[in-house]
Amino acid sequence: MASLDPEDTGPLALSHHSALALHGIELFGVDDDVHLVRTDGSRGHRRGGVHVHAPVPPDHVTTVGRVRVVRPATAVMQATATFGIPTGLVAADSALRRESCTREDISALLGWRALRSARRAAETVAARATAAHESAGESRCAWLLHLLGFHAVPQAVVRTRAGEFVARVDFSLPEHRVIVEFDGMGKYVEAQDLRNEKLREDRLRGLGFEVVRLTWSDLDRPAEVRAKIDAAIVRSARRRHG
């Protein structure tokens, strides 16, 4: 941007995941190009790793520092339209967690003509985006559970029958008494973290829950994830019915 727009006056603004990156919003499933839009009505072009898209209205543009970028909700919808629902959900959830925009900001763009054939994907992202997913991995995990047909409650609180707090879990499948936890790489920093997690999981199993743990690599193998969860559902049913 410093070379393309040295005076910071336009007519270019960073867009798509290039804008999301400057807003500090998490990314998934994007390419390595720099994406921009014009604001002067001129046509876009693509050359040498720089993709300049068709124009957006001036009110879609803001600044981060001195750099012109599209607003977070606009960038979320652009990323959705270009790269698909998982990319859009990771970005939308992150933007909501950071309070970079609201669900209303995202939904307000559903009538935007630039979405065209991606409107159904945009509608899905607008409907499912939530700040309850605490990482990109959890956003992806939630979408996979949805595709597999499971009703998953995010950030569910588990208590004893006496009301004592036991744990807050990534996802609960309440009709099956199955808990799904997403294990990101940075979750366990020290050995004590692992011991604490083992004790926590023992308490959950003691309350009659089955626990399924998923990692990043699991999210690319939906059939295996379904098999893990189905097996946990069977174990849970056997536990409940003797």
CB 121 within 8 A of CB 129: no
157 pLDDT above the threshold of 90:
yes
Taking the CB of residue 63, how many other CB atoms lie within 10 A of it?
Answer: 11
- What's the order of all strands across the beta sheet hosting 34-38? 45-47, 50-53, 34-38, 12-14, 67-70, 61-64
Domain boundary among 92, 115, 131: 131
How high is the pLDDT of residue 117? Answer: 87
What's the number of domains the chain is made of?
A: 2
Once rounded to an integer, what is the mean pLDDT over residues 148-156?
96
Give 63's contacts (C-beta < 8 A, 6+ positions apart): 8, 69
**Which residues on adjacent β-strands are paired with residue 62?**
69
239 pLDDT above the threshold of 90:
no
Domain boundary among 101, 131, 161: 131
182 pLDDT above the threshold of 80:
yes
Note the pLDDT tens digit of each residue in 32-56. Answer: 999 999 888 777 778 888 999 988 9
What percentage of the chain carries pLDDT values higher than 90? Answer: 71
In a domain, 3, yes or no: no
Answer yes or no: do 100 and 146 share one domain. no
How high is the pLDDT of residue 125? Answer: 98
Q: Give helix then strand counts, H and E, for the chain.
A: 8, 10
In a domain, 2, yes or no: no
Note the pLDDT tens digit of each residue in 200-234. Answer: 888 898 888 999 999 999 999 999 999 999 999 99
For residue 40, the enclosing domain spans: 12-131
Taking the CB of residue 131, how many other CB atoms lie within 10 A of it?
Answer: 17
Total-model pTM: 0.90
How high is the pLDDT of residue 40? Answer: 80
Domain boundary among 82, 104, 131: 131
In a domain, 5, yes or no: no
